[in-house]
Structure 1
Amino acid sequence: MNARMNASAGEPMDVAAPTGMLHGHAVRPAAGMGRLTGFDADAARRCAGVVDVVVRGNFLAVVAAMPEQAHAGAVALQARWETPRDTLTTPPQMRAVTSHGNATQVLAQGAGRVDATYRWPLASPRADACGSAIADWQHGALHVWLACTQPAALRLELAALLDIAAESILILCDPDPPARHDAFCARQAAADAALMAHAIGRPVRTTFRAAELGNDGPKLRFDVSATLAPASAYTIAATATPGAGTPFALTQTGRAAPYAEASGVDPGLVPPYAVEHLDVSAAQPLGVPPDIAARGQVFAHESHLDGLAAQAGIDPVALRLQWLDDRTGSGLITRVAEQSGWQGPLKGHNDATAGVRRGRGFAYASVIDMEDGRPARTWSAWVADVEVDSRTGDIHVTRVTVGHEREDIASRAKAPTTTLPDDIATATRQLTTGGQRYDDWGDGAPAETSPALAADGAGHDLAPQTRVDIVGTLAGGAAATLPAAAAVANAIHDATGVRLLEPPFSAGQIRQALEHKPSAANKSPRKRAWLLATLAPLTALAGLCATVLPWRAPIAPVAPPGPGLYSAATIERGRLVAAAGDCAVCHTAPGGTRNAGGLALETPFGTVYTTNITPDAETGIGNWSYAAFERAMREGIHRDGRRLYPAFPYTAFAKVSDADMQALYAYLMAADPVVSRPPETQLAFPFNARPLLAGWNMLFHRNEQYVPDTSRSAQWNRGAYLADGLGHCSACHSPRNALGGERGGKAYLTGGEAEGWEAPALTALSKAPVPWTEDDLFQYLRTGFAARHGAAAGPMAPVVESLRELPEGDVRAIAHYVASLNPASPTQAGTQQAAAAQVAAVEARSAAAALRLSGTTDRLYQNACAVCHQGNAGVPQFGEKPSLALNTNLHSARPDNVIQVVLHGASAPPHAGIGYMPGFADSLDDAQVSALVHYLRERFAPDQPRWDGVEDTVARLRKSSH
């Protein structure tokens, strides 16, 4: 980990990862809470690479040489937990922070009272967010490396966790974390790593994933009420998810958070305004570090004050100045308002032709900042300008004006300000990228379009990069961005009338709110409904006619794009899109150049050869415009107007979003052109009559992009988008009818065929002897091997190889989606010991069957197979030893895959750790192969009936491979 770090109180420095670093995996029940009742440490220590098992109270972890080995050891532990009583049903104990006047009585009389509940997430809502840390305990000192902007609270937490002095802890912070990094997850990882390093005396690296938090991450909650008449009154009550703000390791080891026993509650809860009647209370203990809680507090205060001003028809800046009794704060607000050209809210100044709504929002904060370990009053003020696309809900912060003051700024060295505009722009982007879109690629590529594709369908130019205006000379500091969330939320409300109560702010939230919000466009619902009822069928008919016309007009060729036209981010996003779509898997012939075509695909209707998709103008797609490319991808129409055979899965690619389609085009066009003329596809009549495919499209194709299911999580929608669209899983794993159309409905993903291999069912109809779990699916898709199921082979092996290029969160999303198609199994809904019991039962049944078998075929198995497929036989350098008793293929209704593996082996495993399996086509004749296949079925799937037609299938598959 050679990363540029800076010590918490020093200059940037280059720090290399400690030598001899190990990897840790903490084992926890759902949401991190539970009492540890048992585990098998010996089983974990027997796993390859495991160094030790660490136990501290209810904290349990495995330390190993590699992350995969630590995970395997964690599974082997078979930890058992006692679920704690649901503390969410117990009302928190509230403590008064401050109170004066009679806020309750005034609020009861107030005619313009505004009530709202605001929530502040302490962890990223992205299911694929994560945080990593390295800890090293040497000579009585703890060194911790992680991405962290405010290490003060973490240092106190680690000191409490290990019962050591805070002065003996040095935290080194990475100033440039990856895109999927989450600060809450990083703190969890730091605490885990510190416990492990302290226990074993060696440096340990750990990663904590947001997925471990369950369906809903930890949050702060603020219930706020306010009124202006008959007098100003304000109440706020703060509560938090149990254990929300502290590392789980503190709770698991029985240690109290260092700020949990404080005599008072964070004074930042008190708004910085001179309100006549005020009542502030908070749960005791709130359990959240003050520097983290401050962001939620400012968001709640400033959003609610904006709502109060809107209710009363008062300029929000004027209201703050009216309530503020602070010369420094008033001066800062005035200067920021003047710099921004503030003349009041924009009240949704709209561009009717483009559907764009514009708004402006203000927010202010004044808190005690502990950034450098010394308390100091800070002041911050923001004006944010936003554009909201009313059709898509997309939000863009076009400009922010920021001012920041600190009371000791004259006495301390000014922090460098060169990165502050970037920090401010980053903060605004993070606020408007939440509620993960189904086509987000996270750290794979920013959501950026290429210059040639920078306009949407309506011709409205996409908003430029955020403009940052700074008032005066700002010293750096996290406090400068405290008002960011409220300023952006207030601007969104000004633009749309939608009040968002929890960041981050997503396009989906805006779309949903606008759909239920009356507007001038729908004042006459009967007339609008009649218009929609009339136009909808006509629009659908026009689209259908365009799809099913036998002949389509050619699209004129264009000059190939010049080098450097597309940004690096767009090309990188396109590379990931291509990997998810397995483009190179089909468009690269064995031994050929990548994407130059020529691979022969066997279909029931004949052999189809894939085309050259490199940007060569003569033999590839170099002279294709984006319009021609998109038509081919979504409709299956070549640039010259002829129809493409549906062996090319345009039926799935039609679901791809515009942004991903544009990025894929950029990636392919930025590649090196290759002159390659693959063989022409020659099918027999009537399958060679391409115009007839218009009728096929009418029956089996819908040119529609993926529409998220709003009742499902972001992770589920991401997985569905990747599996059904780019991944085109159903092209192989769904059965087809006599015309080659995929069967949907109840037949969806219930099993199909690909290149002479059976593509097994991914639903409850799976023949796997032990049900697939989400974790099994992830391990299989990520590594090509799942211990309870086996290794990827045949056409699935290159698919896994492509998936290895994707961010881990995307592979987890696919696994999550596919797992949702199965009923909850004991291994999903229950405990690890239930899964182990299932595996043991299957293995015992196979072992009993082995005792009944002997003779020539048994000796053949012992000589050719046992060295790799019996756990107590052979040598370890052959890689994984897949258990044949757990293999889905041996429990299938068809012997095809078993025969294919026996004949051809697995010569190209997804990665070297799985191991190479030789084929026996040249060393065993048909009779021996047939006998071995029958033996394997009888030994490893004794509860299944004997296969019929094995001999004929062996002959057919051997012949088709020549």
Structure 2
Amino acid sequence: MSEGSMLHGQQKQAGIPALLAQARFGVVVRPSYYRWNGERFESDRLVGVDSSSIASLSGSIEVVVEGNFVGVVADSLTLATDAAKQLKVEWQAVHQTPEKAPDSDQALSESTLVKPSPSYTHSNHAYGWPSRMRWGHHPSWVIADCRDQQLSVWGQTVTPTALKQDLSRLTALDISQIELYSADGEHPSNQASGLGRHCGDDAAMDAALMSRAVGGPVAVWLDARYAKDVQALGQAQRITLNADIASSGEIARYHYQQTNLMGEVAAVGLLLSGRATITTSSAEATVGEQDTTPFSPYVFRDQYLAARAQPASLSTNSTLLGIQQTFARESFLDEVARESGQDPVALRLRHLDDARGIELIESVAKRAEWQRASNPSTNSLPQDLLRGRGFAYSQLPDRNQRVESGVRSAWIADVEVNRVTGDVQLTRLVVGQDVGADVDTDRLQQTLQARVLGEARPLLGQAPSFDEWGDGSRALTEREDSAGLPTTASSPSPVEEGVNQTVGEDVLTGAELSPGVAVIANALFDATGLRFRQPPFTAKRVRQALEASSVEEAGRPSTLKPPRSIKRRWLAAAAFTTIAGTAAVAWPWKGGIAPVSRPAANLYSAETIERGRLVAAAGDCAACHTTEGGVTNAGGRGFETPFGTLYSTNITPDEATGIGQWSYAAFERAMRHGISRDGSHLYPAFPYTAFAKTSDADLQALYAYLMAQPPCRLKKSQCAHFPLQCAQLNGRLEYALSRCNAIPA
């Protein structure tokens, strides 16, 4: 037996630490332009790579080139990263299709309208599905070892079947020659995940490409920098629906048009290498495939269902297809119900002629006490919480395409939305299914919370998701061992972080997942009045939509993308803003922000205040803003400087001597830019340069927490020596700015 075969056998059940000892480290160099345009992949064409440009670096470095894929492999991650930055790569720009912003929820609803008969109203909306749900669960290692006609991959994936298909296309190996392992060496389930891929698959493909080229194991660090792939791959699926609704509420004409029969875009490395069209002869690659013609359980007088043929660069996942179709159909029917003034459940029942389905829906509605009037009034909730309820239904044929014996599944979900942070909590889930074992709704609820809503991680715990708790890339510098590499502390076991908990039937005890995303979207719609037409529904997206809605309601112009016709004026304004911004840095004062009345102590929910308390603890606010023996955060602590003693200020919500009259805008400006409410610059002893990177959600929660604390009014004599005198700051501005720049971000 060869040495390579022995190593493969020994490592199959090994964990990440043992694998890193044997592996080299890879970093990829992506083209300046690459994107999936909804139907095909486009990228700049590789002209050449100048390997001599990294000759000055000491150490073993190999450059891997295949098609338009470029990677660098070295003996340490630091060396590989430096080489990737220094490597000179020449690209030829391709003729790009007209650039357009990713479809927003508003844009998805605007399609070509079909003029209805005068006796009907018309509804027309489109829904999207992303090619990647997110960049990953958390920063971690992904390792590939491609040797001796076999390939082993360790890392994160929630779509093992799709990943195996891609790896088979790359290597021309049979599916049986490819093994996938989680971080601790266990096999992930081969069941297809229901909710879509993330960039763990892209990192696995990068590692496999480089491993195959160098003939040994290669480790790739998966973190938020892979979010660039999420943006480049864009939308995998677009489904357009339109209908004519009679005055009686009946849907008389129903048209459903789907972009692709399947909706999983291949891994980026496979697309760049040019091997995406290679197919495998393995029968396992097509296990679970079924007729993918769009299906609807409802009956309409005039019904048209259509989908385009599947491109070769899309993967087959019939489970995901069912979820995509159900998400679009059930979201559309929910909008029709709202537009025509009908109850969502009643609308579906009137267009269903299946006795089993009707009985199931009525049973679930009764168990969940589906009554709009019984929903708690918003007046009984804290002002920053919204509550909503949604319904969704699906019916899928069985394995033999027999509709009658297929699975019926009806879901009702309750959500609470924090209008300040955008966090969405799935508070209740009622699931009825007429075939199979009982559904573990508790586990199902946890899975949907994490996968669809992007559940926030503990503030002081593992580096979290990209859009909510930082980008995750700092794990590279925060968790380094003596070799300068991220430690395995960033790669917890699947039990702790759910690395390889697939959303297949094995995990969710037989649940038919199709209604899962739709029911949350409909509950969000009920809570906020805003329709989200593409998952996932992260706190960042919800918060931005609520903020945009508030702006429009206030009669102010929207801050969305400017019309193309004013692009030139916008560029000119941007140039002027740059000059003005430069001048502002040199000028020590900003305009004041008008005082406001102190927010009520009960304005914010207990959850928001608790989150703010954790943020305050992480930032150690009280350490600087509390004098010895004094009231917490009331200020007065002295700091010796070369220019005298500085005293911290009162940050309790007292309106006279604290921040009680500060609006959130004033608070945010101080935290991010070091400018007080009155426009004066704060001395950089206050580390606003570091706090500037705090997320919007955390800053809002911190503001809520501070405003909910008891105010402490200081005596006049105590306040006198707190502020730094203006003349003193003006005279030392250069020093202040130099100190500011010296503080690490």
Name the TM tier (shorter chain): 0.5 to 0.7
Structure 1 gaps of 5+ residues are: 1-11, 91-103, 371-375, 446-472, 520-538, 547-564, 588-596, 614-620, 637-642, 668-687, 697-736, 744-750, 761-795, 804-962
Pair 1:143-2:157 in alignment = no
Change (3 A) 1:510 1:695: same
In the alignment, the residues of structure 2 paired with residue 85 and residue 383 of structure 1 have an alpha-carbon distance, to the nearest angstrom, of 47
How far off its partner does 1:171 sit? 1.6
Deviation string for 1:832-880 (max 9, x for gaps)? xxxxxxxxxxxxxxxxxxxxxxxxxxxxxxxxxxxxxxxxxxxxxxxxx
- CA contact 2:456–2:468 (8 Å) conserved in 1: no
Pair 1:507-2:543 in alignment = yes
How far off its partner does 1:257 sit? 4.9
Q: Which residue of 2 aligns with 1:238?
A: 258
Q: Which amino acid aligns with 1:426?
A: A
How far off its partner does 1:65 sit? 2.1
Q: 1:834-913, aligned counterparts within 5 Å?
A: none
Pair 1:273-2:290 in alignment = no
In the alignment, the residues of structure 1 paired with residue 320 and residue 262 of structure 2 have an alpha-carbon distance, to the nearest angstrom, of 16
In the alignment, the residues of structure 1 paired with residue 468 and residue 269 of structure 2 have an alpha-carbon distance, to the nearest angstrom, of 34
Higher Rg: 1
SS at match of 2:198: helix
Change (3 A) 1:296 1:258: farther
- The structure whose RCO (Cα within 8 Å, separation 6+) is larger is 2
In the alignment, the residues of structure 2 paired with residue 444 and residue 210 of structure 1 have an alpha-carbon distance, to the nearest angstrom, of 10
Change (3 A) 1:207 1:111: farther
SS at match of 2:22: coil
In the alignment, the residues of structure 2 paired with residue 75 and residue 243 of structure 1 have an alpha-carbon distance, to the nearest angstrom, of 34
Q: Which residue of 2 aligns with 1:311?
A: 339
Q: Which residue of 1 aligns with 2:27?
A: 25
In the alignment, the residues of structure 2 paired with residue 126 and residue 138 of structure 1 have an alpha-carbon distance, to the nearest angstrom, of 28
In the alignment, the residues of structure 2 paired with residue 160 and residue 110 of structure 1 have an alpha-carbon distance, to the nearest angstrom, of 54
Pair 1:223-2:240 in alignment = yes
Change (3 A) 1:479 1:213: farther
2:122 to 95, 113, 123: 113
Change (3 A) 1:70 1:540: closer
How far off its partner does 1:662 sit? 6.8
How far off its partner does 1:212 sit? 2.4
Q: Which residue of 2 aligns with 1:385?
A: 414
Change (3 A) 1:196 1:140: same
In the alignment, the residues of structure 2 paired with residue 59 and residue 110 of structure 1 have an alpha-carbon distance, to the nearest angstrom, of 57
In the alignment, the residues of structure 2 paired with residue 231 and residue 353 of structure 1 have an alpha-carbon distance, to the nearest angstrom, of 36
How far off its partner does 1:566 sit? 13
Q: 1:120-135, aligned counterparts within 5 Å?
A: 120-124=129-133, 133-135=142-144
SS at match of 2:120: coil
SS at match of 1:84: coil
Pair 1:192-2:220 in alignment = no
In the alignment, the residues of structure 2 paired with residue 389 and residue 665 of structure 1 have an alpha-carbon distance, to the nearest angstrom, of 12
Change (3 A) 1:107 1:334: same
In the alignment, the residues of structure 2 paired with residue 159 and residue 127 of structure 1 have an alpha-carbon distance, to the nearest angstrom, of 22
Structure 2 gaps of 5+ residues are: 1-11, 35-42, 101-112, 189-194, 400-404, 458-464, 475-504, 556-591, 599-606, 628-636, 672-679, 707-716
- CA contact 1:106–1:231 (8 Å) conserved in 2: no
TM-score (norm 2): 0.61
SS at match of 1:506: helix
Pair 1:212-2:228 in alignment = yes
Deviation string for 1:759-806 (max 9, x for gaps)? 67xxxxxxxxxxxxxxxxxxxxxxxxxxxxxxxxxxx3xx44xx5xxx
Change (3 A) 1:147 1:658: closer
Deviation string for 1:516-547 (max 9, x for gaps)? 3599xxxxxxxxxxxxxxxxxxx976659x9x
Q: Which residue of 2 aligns with 1:493?
A: 525
Identity %: 24
How far off its partner does 1:485 sit? 2.8
C-alpha RMSD over aligned residues: 5.6
TM-score (norm 1): 0.48
Q: 1:545-694, aligned counterparts within 5 Å?
A: 573=615, 577=619, 600-602=640-642, 606-608=643-645, 646=683, 648-649=685-686, 659-660=698-699, 691=720
Change (3 A) 1:37 1:265: farther
How far off its partner does 1:38 sit? 0.7
Q: Which residue of 2 aligns with 1:423?
A: 447
Change (3 A) 1:237 1:738: farther
Change (3 A) 1:253 1:476: same
Change (3 A) 1:425 1:689: closer
- CA contact 1:416–1:475 (8 Å) conserved in 2: no
Q: Which residue of 2 aligns with 1:359?
A: 388
How far off its partner does 1:501 sit? 2.0
- CA contact 1:571–1:664 (8 Å) conserved in 2: no
SS at match of 2:296: coil
How far off its partner does 1:292 sit? 4.0
Aligned residues: 563
Change (3 A) 1:206 1:393: closer
SS at match of 1:500: coil
SS at match of 1:70: helix
SS at match of 1:484: helix
1:63 to 60, 66, 73: 73
SS at match of 1:270: coil
In the alignment, the residues of structure 1 paired with residue 153 and residue 609 of structure 2 have an alpha-carbon distance, to the nearest angstrom, of 36
Q: Which residue of 1 aligns with 2:491?
A: none
In the alignment, the residues of structure 1 paired with residue 257 and residue 731 of structure 2 have an alpha-carbon distance, to the nearest angstrom, of 56
2:370 to 332, 335, 342: 342
Pair 1:83-2:97 in alignment = no
In the alignment, the residues of structure 1 paired with residue 411 and residue 353 of structure 2 have an alpha-carbon distance, to the nearest angstrom, of 19
In the alignment, the residues of structure 2 paired with residue 123 and residue 481 of structure 1 have an alpha-carbon distance, to the nearest angstrom, of 18
